[in-house]
Amino acid sequence: MDTVSIAIKDLNVGEILDGEVKRDIWRKLISSEESLALKACSIGFANKVKAKNKILKGSIIHEDDVFIVVNRRFVLLRKEMLEIHKNNLCERL
């Protein structure tokens, strides 16, 4: 399971998301498989990031919708964790 970010309101390009006070996003628990397929933005990455695209209220925020600083240690760790999970899914098929 993965906790992903959902837009509470329409978010405009260039808007800085505030995930800590739940002003812009809320959380939703979805399967890891769905999260991987959607490239959903984990809740941990949805604070103080800038929107690249217009994001409609109620939509899952995708990794491609926001600028994520890729040199942050936890971003790299999450990418590694997702890769391990993806490989485990392939082994089960």
| pLDDT score for 80 | 81
Return d(Cα 6, Cα 33) in angstroms, integer.
17
Q: What pLDDT score does 88 carry? A: 74
Six-digit token string for 54: 């217009």
- Look at residue 81 in the predicted model and tell me its pLDDT: 78
Architecture of domain 2-68: Alpha-Beta Complex (3.90)
DSSP element (H, E) containing 73? helix 73-92
Q: Which residues of the chain have pLDDT under 70?
A: 21, 69-72, 74-75, 89-93
Name the pTM for this structure: 0.78
Q: What is the pLDDT of residue 46?
A: 85
* Encoded tokens for 36: 């991987």
Query: Residue 79: what pLDDT?
Result: 75
Map out the domains of the chain as residue ranges.
2-68
